[in-house]
Structure 1
């Protein structure tokens, strides 16, 4: 076991001043590039398209069959979707320590970032063939969805770890919020292009029954957008700081996670923050990943209105992230996060109570979720970067953060899908998320309490 002195002795300063503006903007541009995947594939067009082509409905629009067969087992189509995403996140959680170890020891995190964003882009392009016109289309669609998810989230392990290397502590809230803001703006711009494809399919020669070219073109557009705009950060981001750990130890990433876990014993505020983050992030990410399917299949919101609501979320998230960043400057990061979590609890209860077909009520909930969605993600990332010790092994610390995040998502998504199959309703799944947020809120309260105690000792 390391003593506090021993733990501190291995730490070295990483950044004393913020990088030039062109580097900061290039870093934020990766959010611009990859958020197209998050909006079109995760949140809007793909989930609604998936639910539509894997369900059978009567003339009144009621679902008469929502089951699919995958690998010899019958699933509720929405449950299969959540299980597949949970498996993707589990894979990311398992491989990211290995990859981050190699990136830290060899200083090639940019290479890994490029590999995974390319893999994710190609998988999005593969969804071009996800139509009933192709044999084994469901297998192809699920596999491409999983690979794209792995590519997106694995690339973020390396992207996030650049933040403490290019930004001084006092600038990290602002720069983290800039990245999310770039992401929301960029994703909405591509979403508009995809809207044109979907609402005016005739320009692509579509619009006839059995022709899905408007959706196929949307998935291909995401691939090109993601890969194309990602080239700017790959060119301008600096060469990563190389750790002084021995090279060639493939399992050192997992050993580093254990070492980071050991260091948390001597950093009680960070330990409590990560515990609370683990719980409230289950709720945040599950809502974001399952919202479209919930609106489509449970609330029966028409696809057009559903997409409008999701875009509304993206637009409101931009000022939301900036305002919550300012709020944290006034009342502190932990208190601001507590405000966000209370807001999320209210959103879940409101979502559970929404009436079937309540379009305007759904719009109102979308506006509320959008306001707090970007802020809680941005503030969580910057809070972690400020609470973590200064160290050259930034990727290992952010790998620990990302593994915590991904395991939370795995539990959240499996729980959501299991409750759907158990109760036959997504409403019960939505209400169960309140428990995750409540546990996170309690954790933040104890984090704040410990932080105050440490400040008193220092003074």
Structure 2
């Protein structure tokens, strides 16, 4: 028997995909893999060979991720249009989930420069799998919960994600930092087992979501030329956006403040290590701190949004993000309290990280028209975020290069938060729009 919209079991099953996939974000994208990659490719002053060309190792990893974001940005609107037309959204979610989890597991065989191609391709396909699945996962929100539930349900997903990823990361870190506990003598094996565990965790727990999520909610019966009909579906949604002032304004604001949010997430660790001289062990503690605090932040701000509304709550989080960037700009590596100051900064990031992500998703969901094309609409949300990552990381790196300081890059990010705040101020409350 199919579960009804708003059913607690259905909502929990949907949120459980966050529990399943968030281990990729924390273990692969943030904590273990970047450190492992740097270690096994650091010979020859970090110069590596790939496709017959020489690259700096960190640049090659950055190019690989940028390429994956570009592929998802180009592909997801087209596939989303097809998914909406055929009503086969869950199959697309499953495909990208399996692509990502298998690609992560393949990183087990990445042992050094001789197998660099596995590391690069595994990174690209894992990223495509993760971000591709997120498009279809997010698009289920309007179909499994009513508008008044969206804030809490979206926050629940992120809370599940942070909790699940912390559990697996704790296990992975004990293995990496104390391999003797597990009788491991091979220096590279603990990290490679971590990659294997992430893929298994992701694929395994996703089965809960797949079991309960409905497919073809609107009972569509596609004709044979579904690819071209799907593209027409995409064109129809694009045309409809022209008349949706609030949705366009929100996507603009989301793009501007996401430049700041995503860049801080991706590069705060590098800033702490290179600019402030924070030890790797302390950086790992800060990563854990951010994710623990993010659980409570997502919960608290979802409750605040029920009192003052989504737009007002988002503006509060943006102001805090702006102050975070200004605080990072003012940090002095020579200060005797720099470690404590960076811990405080990390805790503050955690408080608003889950909040701004969950509220952005639920606010966008509330601004959507009464439609059956949820995957297509959410693909534009996803593309906006991907482009913001490309712009943000480029601006951050460019400013750091010409000024020889990443602190100046954080000052520029504060400007993007200010612009996002201004654009958001022109949007009506979601309650008024509905």
Distance 1:115 1:67, change over 3 A: same
Asked if 1:165 is matched to 2:178, the reply is no
User: 1:204: Cα distance to partner?
Assistant: 4.0
Distance 1:367 1:162, change over 3 A: same
The equivalences for 1:130-145 within 5 A come to 130-132=110-112, 135-137=114-116, 139-145=117-123
Structure 1 residue ranges without an equivalent (≥5): 1-16, 57-63
Given that 1:253 and 1:396 are in contact with CA atoms closer than 8 Å, whether structure 2 keeps it comes out as: no
| Higher mean displacement: 195-204 or 303-312 | 195-204
Q: Which residue of 2 aligns with 1:7?
A: none
The equivalences for 1:306-385 within 5 A come to 306-356=283-333, 358-385=338-365
Given that 2:85 and 2:226 are in contact with CA atoms closer than 8 Å, whether structure 1 keeps it comes out as: no
Asked if 1:40 is matched to 2:27, the reply is yes
Given that 1:97 and 1:257 are in contact with CA atoms closer than 8 Å, whether structure 2 keeps it comes out as: yes
Task: Give the RMSD, CA atoms, in angstroms.
Answer: 2.6
TM-score of the pair, normalised by structure 1: 0.86
Q: Which residue of 2 aligns with 1:292?
A: 269
Q: Which residue of 2 aligns with 1:434?
A: 414
Q: Which residue of 2 aligns with 1:124?
A: 104
The equivalences for 1:402-421 within 5 A come to 402-420=382-400
Q: Which residue of 1 aligns with 2:164?
A: 186
The equivalences for 1:13-412 within 5 A come to 18-55=5-42, 65=45, 68-71=48-51, 75-132=55-112, 135-137=114-116, 139-206=117-184, 211-242=187-218, 243=220, 248-356=225-333, 358-412=338-392
Given that 1:180 and 1:374 are in contact with CA atoms closer than 8 Å, whether structure 2 keeps it comes out as: yes
Asked if 1:443 is matched to 2:423, the reply is yes
User: 1:142: Cα distance to partner?
Assistant: 2.2
**In the TM superposition, what whole-angstrom CA distance separates every residue of 1:367-397 from its partner, at most 9, and x where no partner exists?**
0000000000100010011111011111111
Q: How many residues align?
A: 427
Structure 2 residue ranges without an equivalent (≥5): none
| Higher mean displacement: 95-104 or 413-422 | 413-422
Equivalent-residue separation in structure 2 for 1:315 and 1:204 (angstroms): 26
User: 1:436: Cα distance to partner?
Assistant: 2.2
Distance 1:121 1:88, change over 3 A: same
Given that 1:348 and 1:431 are in contact with CA atoms closer than 8 Å, whether structure 2 keeps it comes out as: yes
Distance 1:246 1:405, change over 3 A: farther
User: 1:193: Cα distance to partner?
Assistant: 0.8
TM-score of the pair, normalised by structure 2: 0.90
User: 1:54: Cα distance to partner?
Assistant: 3.7
